[in-house]
Structure 1
Amino acid sequence: MLKQRGRVLTAAVVAVSGAVIATSNSEAAFSRTVMLRGEQAADLPVGVTYRGSAASITINQSGQVAFVDSLIGPGVDSNNDIAMFSEGSGTLKLVAREGSDAPGANPGDAFWTLNGHISDTGDVAIRSRLKGAGIHDVNDWGMWSGNAGTLSKVIREGDQAPELSGGTLIDGIFFNDGLPLLNNAGHTAFFATLTGTGVSSANDRGVWTDANGSLSLVARKGDGAPGTPTGVNFSHFSGLVMNDADQVAFRGTLSGAGVNSDNQLGLWIGDSNSLTKIIRTGEAAPGTVPGTKFDSLGSFAINDTGQSSFFGRLGLGGVINTANDTGIWTNSNGSLSSVVLEGEVATGAGPDAFFKTFSAINLGNTGHTTFFATLDGAGIDSTNDQSIWIENAGTLTMLAHEGDAAPGHDPGIVFGNFSSVISNKAGQVVFTAFMDGPGITGTNSLSIWTADTNGQLSQLLQTGDLFDVDDDLLAEELRTVSSFQYMTNSYTGRGHGTAFNDVGELAVRINFDDGSTGVFVLDTNAIPEPASLALLSISGLALLSRRRSPSA
C-alpha cells in the first residue's frame, strides 16, 4: 500500500499549542515498503532474512515489484545465499533461489546466479548460470520465465535450436546488459550463437522470439537482409529490444555484394513473419544538408506502435565535421526526421549554448523522444553543461539544466551533475541530481527528481530526508536517507524491465544512515505542491494518508 511520506530536511521540530510542526523545503510523496533488511525472507525457513543488498529491482504497471537479494540466517552459505522474489502473484513470493534445482534441467542442476525482471502479466524473466555434476561451459547458461511455483525453461545452451535442423544446437545465449527480454505481454526474444550440424561461420548466430506461442526464428546470419539488394546478408546482430506489440528490433551488420564500411550497418523491426528496415548507413540523413549520409548507428528505442528513435553519426565531408556529425532521428512524426543535431542551438540553456553529445534516448507511446545532452559554447562550462530534454511533434523542451535553480529550494541552491536518467512510455522522466548551494553538504546533496511532459519538475527524495518505513497509517518509523539506487540500463522498458512504470511509480532501494536498507515504491504522481509545513498533528488527532496496494 502507498503511504504519504512527509520528508523533513531540516530536522527542526517545533511544538505550538499542542501541534507538532516540522519545517521543510522538500515535498511529500506517497510510498510503499516492499522489503526491509532483516525481515523474514518470503517462503524461506524461519530466521532466513533479507540482507538488503537488493538489485535488479523492477516494477510493472500494476505496481508489483521483483528484486534479487542476498540472504543471511540459518543454513545460508555461499551456495544458496542469492534469491529472486516477486509480487507478481499478489504478495511477495520466492521465485528462485541459488542452489535450488532449475526447472527443465536434470536433478541436481541448480541455479547459480540470478538476474531478471517482472512483466505486466506478473511473470518474471530470469537469466541464470547453472552448476552441478552435468554442467559444463556448453550448457551452463539459460533463461526461465514464470512465477512462484510456475517457473519454466525458455531456452538453455545445448538445446536444439528452434526451427533448425536436428543436431543444430544453441551454443551461447546473449542479452543486452545481461538482462533477459520479457515484454509486458509475457513474450520473450534472444540472440544465440549456434553449433553442430550444418553450422559454419557463415550461419552461426540468430534471433528468436516466442511471440507466436513457441520459439520461432526471426533472422539468421547469412539470411538476406530485408530492404537491401539481393546478395546482401546479415552477418551479426546486436542491441535486441522488444515492444509490447511483440515486435523485435535490432542492429544488424551486413556482408555481401556491394557492402563496405560505409553501408554495413542497419536497424530492423518486425517479427518472425516479416522484418522491415528502419535505416541503413550510407542512406541520406534527413534534416542535414543534401548529400549527407549516415556513417554509423548507435543506441535506439522503439515504442509499442512500432515507431523508433535512434542515435546516428554522419559521414564527414563538406560542412559536416567532428563538431556537428552526430544527432538523434525519429520516424514518430510519420517519416524519418531529425530530433536534434550536434551544434544546434540549445534554446533556453543560454544565448550561445549548443548541443554537444547525446545519450539515454527513449521513445514514448505518443511519439515523444527524451534524451540527455551535454552542451558547449560561450558561457558553458563544467557547472552548466548537462541537460535533459523532451521532443514532441518537432518541438524541443528542456526539462532540466545543470546550474539552474532547484525548484522548491531556497535561493542559491542549484542543480549539479545529472545521472540515472530514465523515462517511461508516458513521457515522464526520472533522474538523480547533485545539488549545490547554501546549506547543501555531502549528507544532503543527492536527490531524485521527476519531470512530466510539460517540463514540470518535482523532487521525489533527497539524502538527509526523514523517511517513514512503516506502512501502518497510524504509526511511523522515521529513518534518515543516506543514499539510494534504482535500475538504469541502456534498454530500460524495451522488454528489459524498468524501475519506472508508465503510471509514474518508481521502484528504488533506499539506504539509511543507521545501516538499514529496503526496497520501496515511490509514486511520482502523488507529489503535492512544495510546502513549508510538512508534518502536522493536533490534539492527538492523526492525519490519515492515502495508500494503494499492488494489484493481485
Structure 2
Amino acid sequence: MKVHIQSAAVLPAALAFITIGTVGFTASPASAATYTWNGDTNRFWTSDSNWTSDDVPETDVPESDDIVVFNGSSSNTAVYLNGDRTIQELMFGGNTNYDLTHYSTINTLTLANGNLTTTGSATHLLKYHINLGDNGIWSIDTPIFQVINNISGDHSLTKTGSGTLSLSGDSTYSGGTILSEGTLLLNSNNALGTGLVTVQGTAEAPTMDLANGVHIANDIKLLSDLYIKAAEGKRDVTYHAGVISGDIGANLIYNGEDSFAFTGNNTYRGNTIIESGTVQIGDGGTTGWIAGNIENHATLEFNRSDDITYDGVLSGPGDVYQFGTGTLTLTGDSTFGRLLADGGHLVVDGANIKLTANTTKARLVTRYGDMTIQNGADFEYIGASRIHNALTVTGSGTLLTGDQMYVSTHSTEKRFVVEDDAEVNIAGFFTIGAYGPGHISVQSGGKLSTGRFIVQGTSSGLITGSDSQLTINSNLFLYDSSGLAVNDGAGVEVTGYTKVGTPEGFTIDGGTFKTDQLIVNNTSTPTISISGMNALTIGHLNGSSTYQGFIQDAEGGAGELIKVGTGTFTLTQANTYTGSTKVFDGTLLVNNSSDSATGSGNVIVRDSGTLGGNGFIEDGRVILYTGGTLAPGQSAGHLTVENITFYHGDTTLEIELGGLADTEYDVLSILGSAVLGEFGSPQLDVSLIDGFTLDLDQQFDIVNISGIRYGEFDGLSEGALVNSFDDIGLFITYQAGDGNDIALYTAAIPEPTSYVMLGLGGLVHVLRRSNRMFRNY
C-alpha cells in the first residue's frame, strides 16, 4: 500500500491550481498524486516505468486517488489498460492523439470523482468501459474525444467545453446528462444512459449530434437553446422517443442533412427551428408531437396514424408534408414555403395560411393524401398547385387563392371540390388533365374564379347547384374526350372565348352558360346539350364568333340560346334544341345549309338585335319585337324561315340590293305565314350595296311567302314609293310571284298627280314579270 506525501508543488492549499505540460486542472483530494504517461517502455498501463509521478517517494502506477495525465510527451500513444482500474480523474493535453485501448479484453476504468478534461488540438480514443464514481464534469476542449464503449454508474455526466464528445457505447449510467457547451455526438441508442438530459447552455447553444439511425429515448429538459443534427451523409431516420420539456424561450434548432423524427409527445413551448434536413413529427404511429411554433427552412413532416390538431404557427420558406394515415388539422395562422398532402387527410380549419416558397415547384400539392380547407380559412399561395388527390374547399367565408392550378386526380371519387359558399380564385391557368385525367365539382353555392380554364384528356368538370358559379376571366378550352356539365341552377361565365374541341362538347342542364365567343377547335364538330331558360348566352362582351358544331336539348328538356352584345354570332349547322332563340343585341347569323339552325323553338328578335344569314330556320316562328331587325343574308343573301311575325311597329326588315340576280340582293323566303304587324306595321329599310346603281324597269323579289300574309309595311301600301336613288323610284308590291309575295320595282318618279296611275301601271308590270314561284329558291 503506497502512501502519498504532498509535494511542495501542491502546497499550501489542497485545491491549488497545477499545470502539467499543457493541462491545467484543480487537484482533487489533498492526497492525490499526478501521474503522467511517458510510454518509455511499452504500451501497458501496469508498467511503472511508463509513468512519471509527483509522488514522494515515486511509486509504481496510478491508483484510486491519483490524477492521470496524457499530455503528448510520450512515445507510445496506444495504452492497454490490461485490468480493471480506478483513478481519481483523467486529463488529456497537447497535440498528440491517444488511443486508450484494450489488449485482450475490454476492461473498466473507474473515475472516482467522475471528471475528465481535454485541451489542445489532438483527438483521442477511449476504448475502455468507464464507470462514474461520482457526478462527473467532462470538459472537452479538443476537436473530438471519442468514448467507444459503455459508461456506467449511478451518477451524472456534465458536458462542458467547446469540443465534441463522441459516445458510442450502450451506457447505463443513471444520474442523467447535463449538456452545457460544445457537442455531444451520439452513436448508439443508449449512449446517454437512462437518466434525464438537461440542456443548460451558456452563451452559445450546445449541440446534440445523432449518428445514422440512432434512437434516443431519454427525456430532455430545455433550460436553454439546443441544436440537434443528424450525422452528415447518412440516409436513415434518427429518432428521439423521449419527452422534451421546457419553458418558452428555450428553442430547439435542427441542423442536419438527414431525417430526425420526434416520436415522443413533447411539451416544450419554445420554438422549433429547422435550418436544414428533415424533421418528422411521429413515425407512422400515434405518438410524436411538438407543442410550440415551428420555423422551417427545410422540410417538416407530420407522420401520425391518428387524428391530431396543430395550433402553432408555421413559418419560414420550407416544405411541410402530411405523411401519416391519420388526419392532421392546422389551425394556426402561418406563412411558409410549400404544403404537400402525401398521406391521410390534411385539414386547414379556420386558419390564414400563405405559401410563399421561391421555387418553380408547385407550392400546394395533394399527391397521395386528401385535403380540406374549411370554416372560414383564408388560404393563399403564389405560383402553381398540383392536385392529384381530393381537395375540398368548403364553407361560407372559406377562400383559396393562387396563381395557377393543375388538377389530375385520376379518379372521379377523388375530386377538386368547391362547395357550400366557399370561394376559389386562381389568377392564371386552371388546367384539368395536364398530368392525367382530373375531375372537379363546384357545388352547393361554391364559387370558382380563374383566368384561362382548360379541360383535356378524359377529364371532367361539374358545376351544379343553385348559386354555384364558375367565372373564367379569359378563355375556356375543352379538348380530347373531356366534358363539362352545368346543372341545376349553376352558372358559368367566360369573358373571352369558349373553344370546344371535344366531340361531346359540354352540357347545360338546368344551369346557365355565358360566353363572349363560342368557337370550335380546328375541324371539330362538337355537340352542345342545353336545357332550361337562358341556358346558353353568347356575346356579352361584344365579341363576334362562328360556332360550327351542333346544339341539342339536354336530358332536362328544352334549352334557350341567347344572343347579346354588339358583336355577331354565326350558327352553321342544323340544330335540334327545342327552346327559343333570343336575339337582344348585335347580330345572329344562320348560315346552315338545311333544316333549322335555331332548332324548333321560336326565334325572338328585340331591343337592338338583328337576325340574318343565308341559312334556314324551318321550325318555330321568328318574332320581332320593339327594336328587332331582320336582315336576310350576310351582305346580299337568302334567308329561309318557317313563319314570321313583326309584332310591333318599330321593327325593321332590312334589304340590300347589289344586282339583278337573286343571289345579288337580299331575299326572305317564308315557308308558312307572315304577319306584318300585330301592334303597328314594321319598317322596310332598303339600301344599295356599294357599286350598284338602279335603272328603270328592274324588279327585286325580296319576300316569298308560301302561306298567308297579314298586313303591310309602315306607310307602304300597294304600289307605294319606298325610296328613290338618283331620281329612280323604288316601289313596292304585295302581289308579286304567286300573288302573295313582295317585290320591289323601279320606275321614274312621276309628278304627284300621277302616283295613282303609276301604281296601277306598275302593278300590271310586276304581275306580268313576277311569275317565279318560291320553289325556285
TM-score range, shorter chain: under 0.3
Larger Rg over CA atoms? 2
TM-score (norm 2): 0.17
Higher relative contact order (CA 8 A, sep 6+): 1
TM-score (norm 1): 0.22
